Structure 1
């Protein structure tokens, strides 16, 4: 399979969907897949006018079994996989990881780069680094505790236990969990809600949240005041349309 087919891209309604496409290997993440993903992300960074949201999902019954621990490949640069996940996290657009089935270790590190984790009830999350004698290198030790709290993260990392979609929602790992038979319809509804709102606002909100997440409140408030991108170009049109409906 060619590199460009390892991650598929489909665009519709202002949403770019990136699909991990290695189902015969349980979407195990190898270097070639990261190269393909990084190329798509580089393109999406420049497409803020025609892409208002990005979805990351997977083909087949498994979202991702994690890093491919079989055939070792040389990455094109040091820490390339971690930098690709950071690139995903830093996309200007909202990023939604749509997870069904197992999502383990490297796969979990990948979806932790998303703004919203949208899970099916069949989703199963686990950090199995310790099972293989590994230590995280793609962001697990930093992003997981920011999602679920430091002690829940320690539990997950120290036990390698799986948690299902509903439990993931309960502990804050997943934002939303829905039945599998409603997965696509509920995902479409979520995306419609997001893309119907101002893309300018989404980009501004995401940048402010990202830039201030580790700042004390006073510094964060000052940053918001001075770094806000201001009102959207279509502000007047949106206000007029709203009042016109009354």
Structure 2
């Protein structure tokens, strides 16, 4: 894998670790970070050895404390739109990865940091996490998908409350409203994320990946169309070796040995 300046990629077994590595800047997102993320996500998407991705931030204070305000402050309207388009492109790329993604959210996850977590499939939070979309206090709106992903996750009314007020919420409240899946002690965060990743890895990779596709695409379709998509994909699974193996193992009362085929 390529070496980057501001992010880290590590692979352990079938888990890929994607870390924003600017702890002194609280892992703030700038144009360089976004460009590096864009390249890294292409490498991850094309790496058949990676079956689950864990996204986190370096250090103990922040997952990602937001976008780089100094960089944004001097932008023209056109430059602001271009920056938002870049962030949306990168975070949509993350959201659309074939691999399931788990955000291990340590510390502050504000603005772009919240949006980075929202672009992942599952969010595990440290008890120290504070998350929010404070952009309106800066005279702007969330620009990397926050207005759309947050409302889809927690509902329109709650998303409007969080975005209109710009308030940050703690981990327990985020769990209560469904913004994060689970809250754990800081020292348990990565272990919990890895435990979840390994639970996913026990299953047929193609089936897991197609489940992600059908859930995400189905949310944007009328129910009858979404059910047709589900039926089509359900049938497609019967063309795989893993379906044969999984059902044979069940009947024979043994552990499955999936090959991702």
User: TM-score w.r.t. structure 1 length?
Assistant: 0.92
1:177-229 per-position Cα deviation (integer Å, ceiling 9, x unaligned): 11223222222211110111111111111111122112222111112223443
The structural deviation recorded for 1:234 is 2.4
Structure 2 gaps, min length 5? 256-261
CA contact (8 A) 2:63 2:106 kept: yes
Q: Which residue number in structure 1 is paired with residue 259 of structure 2?
A: none
1:105-143 per-position Cα deviation (integer Å, ceiling 9, x unaligned): 111111111100111111110111111001122111110
The structural deviation recorded for 1:28 is 0.7
Q: Which residue number in structure 1 is paired with residue 10 of structure 2?
A: 10
- Aligned ranges 1:10-89 → 2 under 5 Å: 10-47=10-47, 49-60=48-59, 61-72=61-72, 79-89=85-95
2:220 aligned with 1:194? no
Structure 1 gaps, min length 5? none
2:131 aligned with 1:125? yes
CA contact (8 A) 2:64 2:109 kept: yes
CA distance in 2, matches of 1:184, 1:41: 20
Q: Which residue number in structure 2 is paired with residue 226 of structure 1?
A: 232
Q: Which residue number in structure 2 is paired with residue 178 of structure 1?
A: 184
CA distance in 1, matches of 2:157, 2:151: 8
Residue of structure 1 aligned with 2:246, choices 211, 217, 238: 238
CA distance in 2, matches of 1:176, 1:197: 21
SS state at 2:109 partner: strand
User: TM-score w.r.t. structure 2 length?
Assistant: 0.87
CA contact (8 A) 2:52 2:101 kept: yes
Q: Which residue number in structure 1 is paired with residue 258 of structure 2?
A: none
Residue of structure 2 aligned with 1:161, choices 163, 167, 186: 167
CA contact (8 A) 2:134 2:168 kept: no
The structural deviation recorded for 1:230 is 1.6
CA contact (8 A) 2:15 2:50 kept: yes
CA distance in 2, matches of 1:185, 1:71: 35
2:139 aligned with 1:136? no
The structural deviation recorded for 1:237 is 2.7
Equivalences, count: 242
CA contact (8 A) 2:54 2:193 kept: no
SS state at 2:71 partner: coil
The structural deviation recorded for 1:172 is 0.5
1:126-167 per-position Cα deviation (integer Å, ceiling 9, x unaligned): 111111001122111110011111111111111122111111
SS state at 1:43 partner: helix
Q: In the superposition, relative to structure 1, how do residues 237 and 223 fare at CA in structure 2: closer, same or farther (>3 Å)?
A: closer
1:6-65 per-position Cα deviation (integer Å, ceiling 9, x unaligned): 110000120110000001111110000011111010111212x31111111010121111
